[in-house]
Amino acid sequence: MRSASGSWCARASPVSEVTRKVLLEVDGGSRGNPGPAAYGAVLKDAETGVVIAEDGSTIGVATNNVAEYSGLIAGLRLAEEFAPDAQIEVRLDSKLVVEQMSGRWKIKHPDMRPLAAEATRLAPHGTTYTWMPRAHNTHADRLVNEALDGKHEGVRVPDTEEDSLIEEIESPPPSMQTQARGWSAGAGTPTTLVLVRHGVTAHTVDKRFSGGLASSNPALSEEGRAQVRATAEWLEPIAERVDAVIASPVRRTRESAEIVAEVLGRPLTEEPGFAEMEFGVWDGLTFGEVAEAHPEALEAWLGSLDSAPEGGESFRVVEKRVLEGLQRVLDAHAGRTVVVVSHVTPIKTLVAHAVNAPLDSVFRMELSPASVTVVSFFTGGPDGKEPRTSMRLYNALPPARDAFSNPTAW
C-alpha cells in the first residue's frame, strides 16, 4: 500500500482504548451499472473524528446498489473488529440503503435481500442510519475510486508507530496548547495554511526570473505537473480536513492548484495577494543576464527591501500585498485548514511573518518546486488581540523526492 509519511499500514491490532461511539461512512459505485464495482468504508471515532480504519475494495462486476450494500457490510465488519462495543451511526449518500436498513422501505429486489440480511446481522442493536449529500461523503467516495483505479485494495489502519502527515499539519505543538489555556474563546483552534509551491516550468529549469500576472507567465512543464500530482497525492490523507484550495491567479500556480483540488476533491478559489513578485523588465532573464544589462539596479535590489526593478515590485510592496491576502484567508476560513498554492517569494514572506523574522530572512531560505510548508495562526492571545503563530513544516517533499533519501544530492 502507498504510505504518506508512514501514516498507514495494511492492518494492525484493534484500537486499545474503548471507543464508545463511532461513525461509519460508506459508499459504493459501479462504472457502468452494472460494471466494474467497488466500495469504500471509513470508521471514525465520533467524538474526535480520528480515523480508526478504512476499507476500499473491488467486488467484480455489480450494480451501484450491490456495491453500496457491500460497503455497508464491510464497514460493519470494521466496527466489529476495531470497535466491538461501540454505538454505530452509519452515514451514506444512498437514500435506498438508509430507508431500507431503517425499516421504512421494503426490500423488493432479490439481489438486495441477502445483503440486507447480512448487514442486519452484523449491525449491533441501536445502530442508526443517516443520509448525507454525496458532496459530503468524500472520504468513502475516494476509497471507491482508488480501489477501481488500482491504487489501494483492502483494509488499512493508521500506523501509530510513526507520526502521520495529518498530525504534523493539524496538531499544535505542546507549547501552543499550553499558551491556548486562558485565551479568548476559539483561541485553541488554528487556521492552518498548507503552502504548496507550484511545479517547475521552462523558466524554473533555466533559472530565469518569472514574475506574476504581468510576466511572460509560463505554463507548467510535464515534469512540473508530475511533481505537483505527487505532492497532491502525498497530501491526500488530509483531504477531509481541507476547507478549500486557494491559488495565486498566475498560470503556473493555477494549473498546479487545479491538480491539487482534483486529487483532494476540494473547491478551488483564487487569492491575488499570493501572486509572485513582479520583476518588470527583468522578467524572463537569467540572473547573469540581469547582472550584465542592469548591474546598478540589481545591486540596489539586493541591498534594499524597498528597491524594485523597473516596472516591478519591491519586497516591501510584496509583503504588504501578501499579508493583506493572508488576512482575507484568515477571515474567510477561520479555524479551518486550507491548501494555498503559491510561489517562492509569497511563501517565504508568510514564513518570515509566521516566525516573526525580519523580511530580509527570505534571502536565506531555499524552497523546492512542489514543496510543502505549513504555518498555523491562532487568534486571540491572552489579551484577546495578539495572535500566535506556529511553523509546522518547511520545504517538505514526498518521500520519493526528498533530498535526504538521495545522499548524492548533498
Same domain membership, residue 174 and residue 151: no
Task: List, for residues 379-398, the tens digit of each pLDDT value.
Answer: 654 444 556 788 888 998 88
Same domain membership, residue 288 and residue 200: yes
Same domain membership, residue 189 and residue 60: no
123 within 8 A of 76, measured Cβ to Cβ: yes
Percent of the chain at pLDDT > 70 equals: 83
Residue where a domain terminates, one of 115, 134, 161 = 161
The β-bridge relationship of strands 128-131 and 154-158 is unpaired
Query: Any bridge partners for residue 61, and if so which?
Result: 36
Q: Residue 167 carries which side chain, given as an amino acid letter?
A: E
Same domain membership, residue 197 and residue 291: yes
Residue at 339 is within a domain: yes
Task: List, for residues 329-381, the tens digit of each pLDDT value.
Answer: 999 999 899 999 999 999 999 999 999 999 999 989 989 999 999 999 986 54
Question: By residue range, what is the domain housing residue 254?
Answer: 168-409
Higher confidence at residue 373 or residue 6?
373
The long-range contacts involving 385-392, CB below 8 angstroms and separated by at least 24 positions, are 388/176, 388/179, 388/180, 388/187, 389/353, 389/354, 389/355, 389/356, 390/172, 390/173, 390/176, 390/190, 390/354, 391/351, 391/354, 391/355, 392/168, 392/169, 392/173, 392/192
Same domain membership, residue 151 and residue 66: yes
Place of cell 460508506: 26
Same domain membership, residue 246 and residue 152: no
Catalytic annotation, residues:
198, 276
User: Which among 63, 58, 69 is positioned nearest to 147, based on CA atoms?
Assistant: 58
Residue at 2 is within a domain: no
Residue at 343 is within a domain: yes
Same domain membership, residue 340 and residue 197: yes
Task: List, for residues 99-121, the tens digit of each pLDDT value.
Answer: 999 999 999 888 899 999 999 99
Task: List, for residues 236-271, the tens digit of each pLDDT value.
Answer: 888 888 999 999 999 999 999 999 999 999 999 999
pLDDT at 406: 41
Residue where a domain terminates, one of 113, 135, 161 = 161
Same domain membership, residue 271 and residue 135: no
Same domain membership, residue 155 and residue 231: no
Residue 299: CATH number of its domain: 3.40.50.1240
Q: Residue 305 carries which side chain, given as an amino acid letter?
A: L
Residue where a domain terminates, one of 137, 161, 185 = 161
Grid cell locating 6: 508512514
